[in-house]
Amino acid sequence: MVKMVALELDEIIWAQWSYTRLAFICAPLGFGKTEFARRMLQDQDVLEIDAERDDVTKLVTTQNASRYDAVLLDNIHDDLSTAEGSKLSSVIRQCDRTRFVFTSRAPMPGWLTPFFAKGEVLVVTSEDLYFTDTDIAHLLAANNLTSTPELVERIADVTSRYPMAVSLSVAHMLRGDGDAWERSLFKEVMCYFDAEFRRRFSPRVQELLMLVPFFDYIDKDLVLGVLGEEDGKELIDVLQHTTCFVTPEGDAWAVNPGVRKFFEWERTRRHDDASYYSVIDHAVDYYVTHGSYIRALELCSRTKNNKRMLAILEEHAKLNPGNGSYCELEHYYHALPEDVVCASPRLMRIMSLLDSMLMDTVGSERWYSELEDYAHAPQRTPEELKIANANLAYLDIALPHRRLTSLTDAVAALARVNASNDPELMPSMTSAMPSVINGGRDLSPWVSSDEETCILIGKLAGRALGRLAMGCTEVALCESKFEKGEDVTPYISKVNAVLPKIRRNGDPSVEFAATGIECRNLVDQGDARQALSLLDLQRRHLLQVKPHECGRIIANLDAMRCRIWLRLNQTERAHAWLEENEPDLSKPLDFLNRYIYKTVSQVLISECRYDEALRLMSTLSEYVQSRDIFIDFINYSVLAAIATWRSNKGDWRKWMVRALNMAKRFGYVRTISTYGAAVLPLLIETQKHAEEMGVDPSQVSRLIKTTRVQATHYPNFMAVPSGPTEPLTDTELQVLRLICSDKSNAEIGEILSIKLPTVKTHVSHILAKLDVSRRSQAASEARRLHLV
């Protein structure tokens, strides 16, 4: 018999429980909900009732409940009707001096929601009940078993910290099973689940629930679309009210990973995988139809349907990279057999584009060469040759490293593409997609006269791109004038005049470009809040119209919103955005996300994370310079200069001179002045040493004048954070670092050799000084303030 120990309770739970009267403990089978509830109610006179066994409405009356300090109502997941819940609610209201604790394997019932909405219910979930290393060590010691760090780590790894599995592992050790406990533990836990699964659910509901773990996320439309109205509604009802198999996440439910192992084991025992395949095929069709290629491929991978995976990748390859999810699906494409890719001009084109997006020029050129070899093969039919040459011409336009040097070259390549009449090979006029502006280049080196160039592009775009060209020339002209510091009021008017046509008949990317330049102009004039309102409005519109086709546009829009938040000193919102979008620098960067990376660097600099900003900017700056993407190069160089200046690491002048010389070459002003207060001290210092640095003093003077205006509008833009209300002591900083490493209070006490009450005192002081209420918020604020 295993001797159990009380779990270490997070101080946040204790703090909340001290001022709430109701608690709802929600977790699957085997999480020790009842023992945890008893621990919460220790030293109190408790009326304990099991809803599976007892008549709740007879036992929990106002008269009866008022006699006790607390009522523990166990296992309410199946046996309480709405009417019974309503009666309980009345009892809770009348017995205002009695505490009530409920345990359940299902989500919170509706009759408890009014109490929760008023902040009267403490909710404890499975996340709070997992065993920590300290809990495992205490359990071993309580059962006279030698606790070592290696054994604790082994138990945690084998059991995934699942309470019942931890307890069973200790039971096996007490029986002297040696290493055999690991082999028998999994089957024992699974059999325990199986018995309860069969007891609680009818055979039909079991079949429906067995489908759930094939997915990571499910929503109502998916369930009804795949299963039909009757079965779909039944499954949704079970998921919402009867189980903890899923967790609400936005408009969908995330499937809890822990249940997946059980269902895989159960399906193997039942030998009926084949009966699910037709349903899974319907789900794959649903995902593809709705543009969710990532989830479709994940589902195929989970069911080992390689043939369908190839068909989906071929289908996805028809999408323009601006609308597709190529980098997200990169591992699926690169896993394709080489002979399969080399037999398809479409796949070779996509592989070349994909490697280019990942800034792998060598890989991109390799697939371009394979496509050339395909085109030159003597056995090619005229039609195959035409298709191959059209794909090559498309890559000439789309790949930034192939370096088209003029609009004339672009026109010739576009003519070869158009000769194929292939709708898949449709370039765009925006910089975020394969483009007649050469893979996302700006127009800088081709523009001798803005107006003349736009007239030429307008004729070219109208013939070649049709509706996709709607509004492109107006937006391009306005953007060029804006970068050069000119008054763009008349050009904004022309953009606004054509915007309704873009929305009706044009492309969403051009619509975003049109809204974007208007917002940038508003920000430049000091009206950032109005710009934010316009972006919020467009975001809602895009989400309503074609969210799965506008994912990249929405991501870029959110990046623009984040830059406005920084100007408005809304640093918490900016930090939350950063946590969602900060790239993993150990992996290849997605070139199409360069607009987002620019914003990431601004937030990093505002949080004093200069080394990370420099790493990101240095990588991107060299790449865009080698591809003649000049406006991006100026932006990255300015940001690198600011990060170097503030960190005193390296020569900021090198970056500043690069940006100034490139800006002067094309007459750009706002490309630099937009950084306002953040770049102003660098410009002032540059003005003092202009001759020594080899820059034009008149250019610097003009930039200082326009930059001062921006600094007046937004004095806190990218400002160094102010820090805690009071400085943290050395010990508090040590505790904060351990909090950021997800250490429990007991673990912190062990590491620092201080008592648990002392740890709790330090934690309370840290929360107060950082002006937050939870440990997770303290960790987030610590990273934002660069304290750890």
Strand order in the sheet with 252-255: 217-218, 252-255, 246-249
Mean pLDDT in residue range 343-349: 91
Residue 157: per-residue pLDDT: 85
Query: Is pLDDT at 201 greater than 90 in this prediction?
Result: no
Query: Are the C-beta atoms of residues 8 and 88 closer than 8 Å to each other?
Result: no
Is pLDDT at 474 greater than 70 in this prediction?
yes
283 versus 275: the higher-pLDDT residue is 283
What Å distances lie between residue 296 and 26, 193, 548, CA to CA? 31, 29, 13
pLDDT for residue 119 = 86
pLDDT at 179: 67
Q: Region 104-112: what's the mean pLDDT?
A: 88
Average pLDDT over residues 637-661: 93
Can you give the pLDDT at residue 548? 61
Contacts 24+ apart (CB under 8 A), 584-591: 585/612, 585/615, 585/616, 585/619, 588/358, 588/359, 588/360, 589/358, 589/359, 589/619, 589/620, 590/327, 590/357, 590/358, 591/356, 591/357, 591/358, 591/359, 591/400, 591/440, 591/623
Question: What is the per-residue pLDDT across 73-98, written as a single tens digit (0 to 9) for each?
Answer: 998 887 678 888 889 999 999 998 99
Model's pTM, two decimal places? 0.68
Q: Is the pLDDT of residue 442 over 60?
A: no
Mean pLDDT score, 624-644:
88
Q: Inform me whether the pLDDT recorded for 1 exceeds 70.
A: no
Average pLDDT over every residue of 541-569: 85
What's the pLDDT score for residue 186?
A: 81
Average pLDDT over residues 632-658: 92
Residue 46 φ/ψ, nearest 5 degrees = -120, 135
What was the pLDDT predicted at 433?
A: 33
Tokens representing residue 643 in the block:
């990060």
pLDDT mean across residues, the chain: 84
- Neighbouring-strand partners of residue 249: 252
High-pLDDT (> 70) share of the chain, %: 88
- Asked if pLDDT for residue 434 goes beyond 60, the answer is no
**Per-residue pLDDT for 484 more than 50?**
yes
How would you classify the pairing of strands 246-249 and 252-255? antiparallel
Residues 232-239, mean pLDDT to the nearest whole number: 85
Cα–Cα distance for residue pair 747/170, rounded to 1 Å? 21
Residues 776-782: what's their mean pLDDT?
A: 78
Give me the phi and psi of 121, to 5 degrees please.
-120, 125
What mean pLDDT is predicted for residues 277-289? 86
The Cα 491–Cα 570 span in angstroms is 31
What was the pLDDT predicted at 440?
44
Other Cβ atoms closer than 10 A to 202: 11
Q: Is the distance from CB of 397 to CB of 417 less than 8 angstroms?
A: yes
Between these two residues, 584 and 706, which has the higher pLDDT value? 706
The whole-angstrom distance between residue 177's C-alpha and the CA centroid of its chain comes to: 44
Range 653-664 burial, b when 16+ CB lie within 10 A, else e: bebbbbbbebbb
Q: How confident is the model at residue 526 (pLDDT cuts 50, 70, 90)?
A: very high
State the pLDDT at residue 272: 65
Q: Is 206 exposed, middle or buried (0-12, 13-18, 19+ CB in 10 A)?
A: middle
- 197 or 437, which is more confident: 197
Per-residue pLDDT tens over the stretch 140-193: 888 888 888 888 888 888 888 888 888 888 888 877 766 667 777 888 888 888
Determine the average pLDDT of the residues in 569-582.
90
- The pLDDT of 560-572, averaged and rounded, is 93
For 22, phi then psi, to 5°, come to -120, 145
- pLDDT score for 369: 95
Say if residue 351's pLDDT is above 80: yes
